[in-house]
Amino acid sequence: MSFAKLASALAVLAVYPHDFPSLTSDPCLADNFYGTYGGQSVFVAPHACFTGFATPVSGAFAPAEYPAANGTELVWVEQVALDASLQSQSPSFSPENISGYLSDLFASTSEVSLEGAQQALSLSAPTYAVLHHTATSVLLALPTPHAHRLSLVLPPTWKVYALPDAPLPIVPVEEPAIERVREILAALKFDPLVAKVVANISLAQIRNDIRWLTGEDGKSGIESRHSFSSGALTAADWLKVRFEETGAACELRPFLSGFAPNVICRYPSTVNTTATVLISSHYDSRGSFGSTRAPGGDDDGSGTTGILAIARTIKRLGLTFRSNVEIVAFAGEEQGLYGSRYYAQDLRKEDKNLTLMIQADMTAYHEPGEPPQLGLPDLIGTPEVHQLVANISAIYSPELKVGLTPACCSDHQSFHSQGFPASQVFERAGPIADPMYHNSGDLSSREGYDVEQLKSIAKVQFAVVLHTAGFDLP
Ligand SMILES: *[C@@H]1O[C@H](CO)[C@@H](O)[C@H](O)[C@H]1NC(C)=O
Ligand SMILES: *[C@@H]1O[C@H](CO)[C@@H](O)[C@H](O)[C@H]1NC(C)=O
Ligand SMILES: *[C@@H]1O[C@H](CO)[C@@H](O)[C@H](O)[C@H]1NC(C)=O
Ligand SMILES: *[C@@H]1O[C@H](CO)[C@@H](O)[C@H](O)[C@H]1NC(C)=O
Ligand SMILES: *[C@@H]1O[C@H](CO)[C@@H](O)[C@H](O)[C@H]1NC(C)=O
Ligand SMILES: CC(=O)N[C@H]1CO[C@H](CO)[C@@H](O)[C@@H]1O
Ligand SMILES: [Zn+2]
């Protein structure tokens, strides 16, 4: 690389609070935005961007080759928001701790590998850099193969977000798209047909499907749905066939070598429109360190059986839609939202007319004794979509206590980042309380796992589709 080329590639990494006032009015920063994580926004911008501008709140660094570098990935590691009942059990977070976990990752591939994850880490002199940290987060630069495997060595309550390899729009969702959601909300009123349709979701079927996906019924042979496992491929094939049986056209779409594919299913519109409504979950799972068992009964077998239950109801009642409807089960969520990142990028390139999307991730668990709940993201997502979901919940699943959750972020973040109206439905109006979070004990037969709540939340997700897309019964 020539000196001039190197100098032009020099970039400054800056981390600001997400609501830092003048960022949206600074065109140079706006062109170099890499997303918001844990309430902080990340910029990788030319040095000149910052002259005369506020000093970054913390962490200035020049990963000179990012994003141009081949084989380097920036990842944000965040301690998830935990209920008080879980806080004492979770290892506290510090940069020193992360070094310890990373040395495991760099020292050994076999110990941390699951089946199929043992492709050679062939970088010469692999190394990493801690670019920034707070009390609950660390921003790292890692060789790509190590970045993909990072979640294998971290404690369960630390979640990984891979930064995109190109800048994101700083004002995520355009006004006309938000206006469309406002119109749907303004027109919202109880529809007895919608109530009849969503009530047809079968609880018995959900109980069967979840036990198949976790391997609890002994029929699927699935031990893990980790993105690198053979169980994930078994689940992907099974989901594709189940969705196709309901009249959808499905594809298994790979996104990164070594990862199980996204399962993407579409129902055509009965009228000529580009408008599309999308609901989703992630079918990959994460287990305990050192264990090959990752049943993912709640995370995210719950959201996945919820969208499957919706599909089965579409078939049973012979429903058709007046808008295109997509149902997607993502993989690679646990490694850093990879599956949804690639799919949302594809839809952005196509300039897809996505009216809104709703991700269901962890919908079954609440603390024993608590009422059934529905949590909406407090930070990442489109407020108008959150409001629509809340109002639809009040109408069709009034048993749910609706509130905000700081438990952030699932695949909806990928869509929100690409400028699509997006929200997530979550199991608690509060932080994560599931003691089996990212644990090999995440089964569906256990205290606190509430299949009725899973169904109530699926009803809400379904009713959003019906009110947004429009539908007909035979
Ligand atoms: C990045 O590296 C891979 C594997 O070495 C190679 O196949 C690919 O062409 C490289 N891409 C670029 C943009 O250099
Ligand atoms: C949505 O719900 C809120 C109360 O939570 C209510 O004030 C508002 O009128 C509702 N909007 C619509 C359009 O139903
Ligand atoms: C759903 O509707 C079908 C067809 O009308 C009916 O046979 C079935 O019993 C219903 N199931 C539930 C759970 O309501
Ligand atoms: C659908 O609408 C588009 C745009 O209005 C038009 O170009 C196209 O011919 C229509 N397709 C059909 C099958 O009517
Ligand atoms: C997108 O869909 C909406 C209906 O939701 C429609 O009014 C609009 O014209 C569509 N936009 C494009 C670019 O096709
Ligand atoms: C699990 C672990 O090693 N936790 C340590 C992380 O770092 C903090 C501060 O350095 C320690 O207090 C924890 O014990
Ligand atoms: Zn999840």
**pLDDT tens digits for range 171-221:** 778 999 999 999 999 999 999 999 999 999 999 999 999 999 999 999 999
Q: Which residues contact 108 (CB under 8 A, 6 or more apart)?
A: none
CA nearest 410: which of 379, 433, 383? 379
Confidence label for 7 from pLDDT (cuts 50, 70 and 90): very low
103: how many CB neighbours lie within 10 A of its CB? 12
The pLDDT value recorded for residue 69 is 56
Nearest bound ligand to the CA of residue 355? 5
CA nearest 171: which of 456, 474, 420? 420
Q: Does any ligand 2 atom lie closer than 6 A to the CB of residue 395?
A: no
| Closest Cα to atom 11 of ligand 1 | 70
Average pLDDT over residues 281-295: 93
Whole-number mean pLDDT of the chain? 88
What's the CA dihedral at 163, 166, 171, 176 to 10 degrees?
-120
Nearest bound ligand to the CA of residue 298? 7
- 65-69, long-range: CB < 8 A, 24+ apart: 65/9, 66/11, 66/13, 66/141, 67/165, 67/166, 68/9
The pLDDT value recorded for residue 28 is 84
The pLDDT value recorded for residue 116 is 28
Confidence label for 29 from pLDDT (cuts 50, 70 and 90): confident
Region of residue 240 (phi > 0: left; psi between -120 and 50: alpha; otherwise: beta): alpha
Confidence label for 60 from pLDDT (cuts 50, 70 and 90): very low
Q: Choose the residue to mutate in 391, 395, 402, 468 for probing ligand 2, maximizing ligand atoms within 8 Å of C-beta.
A: 391
| Closest Cα to atom 5 of ligand 3 | 317
Do residues 400 and 374 lie in contact, with contact meaning Cβ atoms separated by under 8 Å?
yes
Q: Does any ligand 6 atom lie closer than 6 A to the CB of residue 97?
A: yes
- Taking the C-alpha atoms of residue 252 and residue 268, their distance in angstroms, rounded to an integer, is 18
Output phi, psi for 116, to 5 deg: 80, -5
The pocket around ligand 5, CB under 6 angstroms, is made up of: 180, 273-275, 353, 355
Residue 2 exposed, middle or buried by CB count within 10 Å (0-12, 13-18, 19+): exposed
Higher-confidence residue: 69 or 343?
343
| Closest Cα to atom 1 of ligand 1 | 70
Is the peptide bond preceding residue 67 cis, with omega within 30 degrees of 0?
Answer: yes
**pLDDT tens-digit map of 127-154:** 777 778 888 898 888 888 889 999 998 9
Q: Does any ligand 6 atom lie closer than 6 A to the CB of residue 94?
A: yes
Question: Which of 62-66, 203-207, 301-305, 416-420 shows the lowest per-residue confidence on average (mean pLDDT)?
Answer: 62-66
User: 3-state class of 175 per DSSP?
Assistant: helix
Given 3-state DSSP classes, what are the helix, strand and coil percentages for the chain, each rounded to the nearest 5? 35, 25, 45
The DSSP element (H or E) to which 249 belongs, if any, is: strand 249-253
Do residues 294 and 226 lie in contact, with contact meaning Cβ atoms separated by under 8 Å?
yes
Nearest bound ligand to the CA of residue 421? 5
Q: Choose the residue to mutate in 65, 70, 121 for probing ligand 1, maximizing ligand atoms within 8 Å of C-beta.
A: 70
Question: Which of 69-73, 241-245, 270-274 shows the lowest per-residue confidence on average (mean pLDDT)?
Answer: 69-73
Q: Which residues pair with 356 in a beta bridge?
A: 277
Fill in the DSSP letter of residue 50.
Answer: G
Q: Choose the residue to mutate in 181, 272, 273, 420 for probing ligand 5, maximizing ligand atoms within 8 Å of C-beta.
A: 273
Q: Does any ligand 2 atom lie closer than 6 A to the CB of residue 187?
A: no
- Taking the C-alpha atoms of residue 387 and residue 376, their distance in angstroms, rounded to an integer, is 9
The pLDDT value recorded for residue 55 is 53
If you search the block for the tokens 């994460």, which residue do you land on? 286
CA nearest 398: which of 451, 449, 459? 459
- Taking the C-alpha atoms of residue 357 and residue 464, their distance in angstroms, rounded to an integer, is 9
Tokens of 8: 């032009």
Cα–chain-centroid distance for residue 452? Answer: 23
Is the peptide bond preceding residue 472 cis, with omega within 30 degrees of 0?
Answer: no
The pLDDT value recorded for residue 163 is 93
For residue 355, the ligand 5 atom closest to its alpha carbon is: 5
- Taking the C-alpha atoms of residue 378 and residue 388, their distance in angstroms, rounded to an integer, is 15
By DSSP bridging, strand 249-253 and strand 320-321 are: unpaired
| Closest Cα to atom 6 of ligand 6 | 97
CA nearest 239: which of 299, 312, 323? 312
- Taking the C-alpha atoms of residue 48 and residue 64, their distance in angstroms, rounded to an integer, is 14
The pLDDT value recorded for residue 124 is 38
Q: Does any ligand 6 atom lie closer than 6 A to the CB of residue 108?
A: no
- Taking the C-alpha atoms of residue 178 and residue 408, their distance in angstroms, rounded to an integer, is 22
CA of 177 to the centre of ligand 5 (A): 9
The pLDDT value recorded for residue 66 is 53
The pLDDT value recorded for residue 235 is 98
The structural domains of the chain, ordered by start, are: 3-162 (no CATH), 175-472 (3.40.630.10)
For residue 97, the ligand 6 atom closest to its alpha carbon is: 6
CA of 388 to the centre of ligand 1 (A): 44
Q: Does any ligand 1 atom lie closer than 6 A to the CB of residue 110?
A: no
The pLDDT value recorded for residue 249 is 98
Q: How many helices (H) and strands (E) in the chain?
A: 14, 18
CA of 137 to the centre of ligand 2 (A): 36
The pLDDT value recorded for residue 2 is 40
Confidence label for 433 from pLDDT (cuts 50, 70 and 90): very high
Question: Which of 150-154, 276-280, 388-392, 413-417 shows the lowest per-residue confidence on average (mean pLDDT)?
Answer: 150-154
The pLDDT value recorded for residue 150 is 93
Output phi, psi for 430, to 5 deg: 170, -175
Tokens of 168: 């994101």
